[in-house]
Structure 1
Amino acid sequence: MEIRALERTDLINIHKINNQKEFMRLWFEEPYESLDELTSLYNKHIHDNSERRFVIDVDSEFAGIVELIAIDYIHRNCEIQIIIMEEFSGQGLAQEAMKKGLDYAFLTLNLHKVYLYVDITNEAAIHIYQKLGFEIEGTLKEQFFANGKYKDSYFMGILK
């Protein structure tokens, strides 16, 4: 398993993710985006220093994405997000890709803290994040609207 920078040629796979309800609810986002809109966003953000988007590759096959977003170089923190494609789940890729994303944040970008939001009912993800060293710093009541309901979210963080 490797992570590499997101390329324009990966957008078709990102488009598939962005239009699947079960994936987007994990990121508390709407499952709708046209390929043209995604391409436009890619072009707009290609030189944006406040984010890093990585593709998770398994034997040259697209297995998911890990993203560092809202990178703040003054306070030296960012948010991390991950999605593993269903056909690659259960192989330990999430933990390995998160570790590589954290290494990039701490060792390359010299950030001090990485944080994330996770649905309090997503026990599998919470378990992975805690194994990596993330700690629950708080519960955000009805923070996100997904699947027709407001959802509570944990705010979890890890320090360098």
Structure 2
Amino acid sequence: MPNDDTEAESGEGVVELQRFTPLYLRTNTPKGRGVFTSAPIPKGTTIETCPALLLSPEENTAHIEHTSLYHYTYNWPLPAGGKGKTQAVILGLGSMFNHSTHHQNVVWTRDLVNLVVVYRAARDIETDEELCISYGDHLTFVDADRGVESEEEEMGLERIVL
């Protein structure tokens, strides 16, 4: 889940983009592609600042929802005066972070003024560890982190006594 939305302090019209450089993309994980680190990342380190491309609700409904790009968008509040929400395409590595229900090690914050998302280490992250965020509770895919125990609980098998 994201941290609170923020309004970043930056110079007028200038947004500092940051990236923790020892990152790499693996293409053969159980979740598909994933972002990993080749060096330890201390808790609190800014991993990436990614620009966001805000979509209008009309663009999102008419076009994006009908493509695979929709699965990579983030919910985004409408600009001041608008009611509801829309979607944003997060550029950079932001849309490549996989979801983890129990082991997310990266938190993210929307900067609504500067239209960026900032990703930070939620804890110390080890070399060659995958960087994962939480997508929230309403997933549009089967959660690869979901274990046999949670499947048994869902089906009520933990109550069966032999």
**TM-score with structure 1 setting the length:** 0.22
Q: Which has the higher contact order (CA 8 A, sep 6+)?
A: 2
Higher alpha-carbon Rg: 2
**TM-score with structure 2 setting the length:** 0.22
